[in-house]
A = this chain, B = another copy of it.
Amino acid sequence: MAKLQKSIDKRNALVKATIELVNNNGFHATPMSKIAKMANVSPATIYLYFENKQDLVNQTYIEVKAKYTNYAFKDFDTTLPIEAGFEHIWKRIADFKLKDSEHAMFLAQCDNTPMIDEESRKEGIKHLQPLLDLWERGKKEGIIKPISDYLLYAYSINPLSFLMITQKRGAFKLDKTHLEEAYQSAWSSIKVCK
């Protein structure tokens, strides 16, 4: 138990260090030695927990992605009406992206780079189902536009990544008002408009 405990702590420290360094320097400039130093561990120790650097990054990605989707769909009530259900999920995702920007930033970087194995990427996408189901239902009820899920995602969810990155760069700050405006834009873009 003590042994396991200790191990998990080190593993977590390594994952945390990876996220932090990749966020600040990019994958191309985060050597194993720095990861080890930041996690207070010898470089050799990393290899007790991970096969190699790629494995470390893949596992980190999968872990962060899971944290993201868990947060997004926590307490989601599938019986909610479409708009309320969407608003709930949207606001939780917004919350995650803007408050936990360390993790969100890491995901954004992974999602736009050939840094992650295709396999791990697929692993990470799996958990979006509840949102897809909601959209499916919304299309049937004539509330959501009958268009590809990729389009719905691109317009209603993905903009949050851009806003998060922009905010992180200090170009502007997303406050409560902006957030409500953003939500309205997201909803306008996918709802059926008369």
Contact of A188 among B29, B166, B171, B188 (CB under 8 A): B188
Contact of A151 among B148, B153, B155, B178 (CB under 8 A): B178
- List CB contacts (< 8 Å) of A53-99 with chain B: none
On whether the beta carbons of A186 and B155 are closer than 8 Å, the reply is yes
Q: How many of chain A's residues have a CB under 8 angstroms from any CB in B?
A: 40
The residue in chain B whose Cβ has the minimal distance to the Cβ of A108 is B112
In whole angstroms, what is the CA distance A114 to B159 when docked?
Answer: 20
Q: List 14 A-B contacts (CB under 8 A).
A: A26-B115, A28-B28, A109-B112, A111-B112, A112-B113, A145-B184, A145-B185, A150-B171, A150-B172, A151-B178, A155-B155, A159-B159, A188-B193, A189-B189
Given contacts A26-B114, A147-B181, 7 further A-B contacts (CB under 8 A): A26-B27, A26-B113, A112-B112, A145-B185, A148-B181, A154-B163, A193-B193
Q: Chain A: residues with CB nearer than 8 A to chain B?
A: 24-29, 108-109, 111-115, 145, 147-148, 150-151, 153-155, 158-160, 162-163, 165-166, 171-172, 178, 181-182, 184-186, 188-190, 193
